[in-house]
Amino acid sequence: MIDLCYLRHILTDVKRIEETLKRETSLTLNEALCVCQIDKGNIEPSSLSKELSLSLSRTSRVIDSLVKKDLVERIHDDKDRRNIRVTLTEEGEKTGKKLHTISLDIPDYLIKTVTEIEDIISTGENT
């Protein structure tokens, strides 16, 4: 069990990481994570919302912000205009590549935790 007060350290570190990310890329953490997810292939906003654990309305606001920054575009289905997919623009693809190479000072305990989570997800142990 983890002491609830310990979460303050995690939140403070994540905030510091986001500040560095914003300085380096002009993106918030949610915007950067959104670009990373869309970089895997065009995606529906509802799927993106689930992948990022954000509400659909929050995801929509993040997408709006990325559209304004010319990093993503919404593609409407010709047969059903209600169906929308989100894809990276050329500038978004460049930003996605930059996000994979950016150097962030992430504490070792967070790297270890993320690595453990990735291992659990990739082996399907969380099901």
Count other Cβ atoms within 10 Å, centred on residue 39: 17
Six-digit token string for 61: 């606001």
Closest alpha carbon to 29 in 51, 8, 52: 52
Print pLDDT tens along the chain (127 aa). 667 877 888 889 889 999 999 999 999 999 999 999 999 887 899 999 999 999 999 999 999 999 999 999 999 877 877 788 999 999 999 999 999 888 888 888 888 888 888 888 878 765 5
pLDDT at 1: 65
* CA-based nearest residue to 15, from 28, 2, 32, 33: 28
Give the Cα separation of 83 and 67 in Å (integer): 17
Q: Which pLDDT belongs to residue 4?
A: 80
| pLDDT for res 70 | 97
Q: What is the pLDDT of residue 126?
A: 57
The encoded tokens of residue 110 equal 């967070």
Closest by CA position to 38, among listed 28, 47, 29: 47
CA proximity to 126, closest of 112, 116, 3, 111: 116
Q: Rg for the chain (alpha carbons), in Å?
A: 16
Q: What domains does the chain contain, in order, with CATH numbers?
A: 27-102 (1.10.10.10)
